[in-house]
Amino acid sequence: MFALAFTLAGPAMARDRAQNPILVPAVSQPRIEVRQGFTGTQLLLYGAILSPEGARAAKDYDIVIVLEGPARPLSLREKKRVAGVWVNADSTTLRSVPGFYAVVSNRPLAQIVDERTAAIYQLGLTALQLSPSGSIDPAAQEHFAAGLVDLMRRSGLYLQDESAVRVKEQVLYEARIALPSHVPVGTYTAETFAVQRGRVLASATARVEVEKQGFEKAVADFSQHQPVFYGLLAVGVSIAMGWLAGRVFALI
């Protein structure tokens, strides 16, 4: 989807390249290590907006930052009441659902870009492309997408904060995004957009790696690569602890 966005934006960017600003993005932690005691973290995304000459941009730009986690296919089911009992009724398959999605900006997105631009660059929770497969009924898909976004938002994995970005002296910008402890691991992209009068003038990407480390990584790898031994270990630990407790309590 990002590739598509770039091809669409390509000609416009080439035409105005001379006047377009340069974005220099950075993140506070390019690698987030998930290890024992990890309870989530605050990611600081910051950077500078410069004119092509490298001087201060001297114009007011709107800044929108999208932090997106690894996408995976999902099936989404909706419960309906059948004969007094709530059962899973309708379902849909979404081929690319980001495991984490945060969009932050310096003022409400609706004032920064119009709907079409928001859809092209996937700016905002309502503009998220989830690539549904199967039924293409737009109303139904919208209904499912809204349900998913609501679910993810309440679990803290999707967020939209329209005042999180602060732009200082037309040069520096910064934003903080909170990652909860249950963020999926993988490669995250933080894409910063400089927007003026509804047009995206520049964008730049920074990467963030979220990975399990140390003991947590060892356990996760062990369970995936050596399932037989992992299972035996789990059973062994259970029996040993049960037996040990029996011995200890027999002494008391």
Partner 1 sequence: MDIYLPIASLSVNGLVIIGLGLLTGMLSGIFGVGGGFLTTPLLIFYGIPPTVAAASAASQVTGASVSGVLAHGRRGGVDYHMGGVLVVGGVLGTGLGALLFDALQRLGQIDTVINLLYVAMLGSIGGLMAKESITSLRAGADGARPVRARRHHPLVASLPGRWRFYRSGLYISPLAPLLLGMFTGILTMLMGIGGGFVLVPAMLYILGMGAQVVVGTSLFQILFVTMATTMMHALTTHAVDLVLAVLLLIGSVSGAQLGARFASNASPLRLRLVLAAIVLLVAVRMAIGLTWRPDEIFTVAAL
State the Cα–Cα distance between residues 136 and 138, nearest whole angstrom: 6
Q: How far apart are CB 132 and partner 1 at their closest, in Å? A: 13
Contact 32, 211 (CB under 8 A): yes
For partner 1, the binding residues in 42-61 under the rule CB under 8 A are none
- Decide: residue 248, CB within 10 A, 0-12 exposed, 13-18 middle, 19+ buried: exposed
Shortest Å distance, C-beta 127 to partner 1? 19
Q: Phi and psi (nearest 5°) for 207?
A: -110, 145
Q: Looking at 23, 32, 34, 63, which residue binds partner 1 (CB under 8 A)? A: 34
Asked if 223 interacts with partner 1 (CB under 8 A), we say yes
Q: Return the sign of the alpha-carbon dihedral for residues 22, 28, 34, 39.
A: negative
- Is residue 31 a contact residue for partner 1 (CB under 8 A)? no
Residue 134 binds to partner 1 (criterion: CB under 8 A): no
Within 10 angstroms of residue 134's Cβ, the number of other Cβ atoms is 11
Site string (87-106) toward partner 1, x via CB under 8 A: xx--x-x---x---------
CB nearer to partner 1: give 65 or 130.
130
Cα gap 71→183, rounded to integer Å? 12
Size of the site for partner 1 (CB under 8 A): 61
CA distances from 13 to 22, 133, 173 (A): 12, 32, 22
- Interface residues with partner 1 (CB under 8 A) are 34-40, 72-79, 81, 84-88, 91, 93, 97, 144, 147-148, 150-151, 180-182, 184-185, 212, 215-217, 219-220, 223-224, 227-228, 230-235, 237-239, 241-246, 248-249
